Amino acid sequence: MENSKIFHYTNLLRVELSNEIDTSEIENYFPQTISEKQSDYNSDYTINYNLSQYNYLKNILPSFDLQGKKFPYRSAPAISKNIDGWTLSYFFPNRYSEDYFVAINQGKICIFANKYDSNIVIRILNELIVRKLLEKNYFPIHASAIVNLDDGKTDLFFGGKGSGKSTMFFEKTVNGNYLPLANDVCFVGVENGQAMVYSMTYDITFHKSLLVNNNNDFNIKDDKIRCNPLQFCQFIDKSWIYVAPLKSLNYTALNLSDDFEIQQISAENMHELLLKYGKDRDFTFDDVLNINNLYPNYDYDNLIKHVSLLNSIKGNVIDRNKTKRQIY
């Protein structure tokens, strides 16, 4: 593809993007992943964006099995059919985008839509990342994760709604010697005897009281500031990390009233907590692109065996004098 660029997610996935695709929008959610295509560069997939065939495909939609709805990971429900070796999937409209089609044959992917929408491309890239991780027997945890600059290893924080996952992520990356890896969901697994964690990137939210004022055009809704990963990296002047060894699993139950406390817990207790709090309600993994039809195997026991520190974290982690930030 002339003037195409490459999306590279660690050594896991390389995708060639056609020149119709706005890579600046992709970099908002995947900082440091876009490069110019080199003549000898081999990619796992190529993605094209097509606006001319959408109406034609909409006319053949009645021939799809409308009852065979599937639910891919954090995306719109979809229905699929096979046409001449291609898997053609129709994604229903939802609050994030209008409806669209995706066709895939081996490594060739084409998006058919009524208008251009970078969110669709980002969702397809996320789906491809998930498929690669499932092939490596990784599974997701609803958690935030940060990488210690001293040892290059990851601390992962999970817990119930409002337990402080985002607070730990914000406090440690803004004021500590840590880099961001995941703000909401990450994939974990054991590879060559080492527990590892991979990043998934989504919008980051934090309370507006953590900032003196907002001169950075962050969106504010219900007293929460929302920004994309690139904005957050620019805010803290640090790089995003996508994969690192996993050092600690931390069940998090923060509150402002009590003193900060960290305690080691048993493998049995950690397993129970992961069963209760580790999964997100959107953890559905139907393979609408017909790539490998894999689902996660939540092997908490094997993961716990390969993690050095199993902790419970409670109390108030915020130092208001350090946390309040002026944005210029």
Mind listing the pLDDT tens digit for each residue in 39-66? 767 899 999 999 999 999 999 999 998 7
* Token pair 């898997």: residue: 87
Mind listing the pLDDT tens digit for each residue in 284-318?
A: 999 999 999 999 999 999 999 999 999 999 887 76
Strand, coil or helix: 277: helix
Q: How confident is the model at residue 166 (pLDDT cuts 50, 70, 90)?
A: confident
Residue 269 CA, distance from chain mean position: 27
pLDDT confidence of 16, banded at 50, 70, 90? very high
Strand, helix or coil for residue 120: helix
Distance of alpha carbon 111 from alpha carbon 132, whole angstroms? 20
Could you tell me which residues are beta bridge partners of residue 291? none
- Residue pair 108/89 in contact (Cβ under 8 Å)? The answer is no
Distance, in Å, from the CA atom of 323 to the CA atom of 328, rounded to the nearest integer, reads 16
CATH of domain 139-323: 3.40.50
Spatial distance between the Cα atoms of 138 and 164, rounded to a whole number of angstroms: 24
Contacts of 272 (CB under 8 A, 6+ apart): none
Asked if 155 and 59 touch (Cβ cutoff 8 Å), the reply is no
**Where do the CATH 3.40.50 domains begin and end in the chain?**
139-323
Question: What average pLDDT does the chain have?
Answer: 89
Give SS3 for 178.
Answer: strand
What's the token pair of residue 146? Answer: 């940060």
**Residue 139 is encoded by which pair of tokens?**
């599974």
Strand partners, 46: 16, 108
In degrees, rounded to 5, the angle at the alpha carbon of residue 247 between the alpha carbons of residues 32 and 234 is 25
Instruction: Classify 76 in phi/psi space as left (phi over 0), alpha (psi -120 to 50) or beta.
Output: beta
By CB atoms closer than 10 A (0-12, 13-18, 19+), residue 229 is buried
Report how far apart, in Å, the C-alpha atoms of 67 and of each of 79, 81, 133, 216, 289 are: 8, 12, 29, 46, 17
- Do 179 and 219 touch, CB atoms closer than 8 A? no
Over residues 228-277, the pLDDT tens digits come to 999 999 999 999 999 999 999 999 988 767 777 899 999 999 999 999 99
What tokens does 144 get? 């935030």
Nearest-angstrom CA–CA distance, 158 and 168: 10
pLDDT tens, residue by residue, 91-135? 999 888 899 999 999 999 999 999 999 999 999 999 999 999 999
- Whole-angstrom Cα distance, residue 298 to residue 139? 6
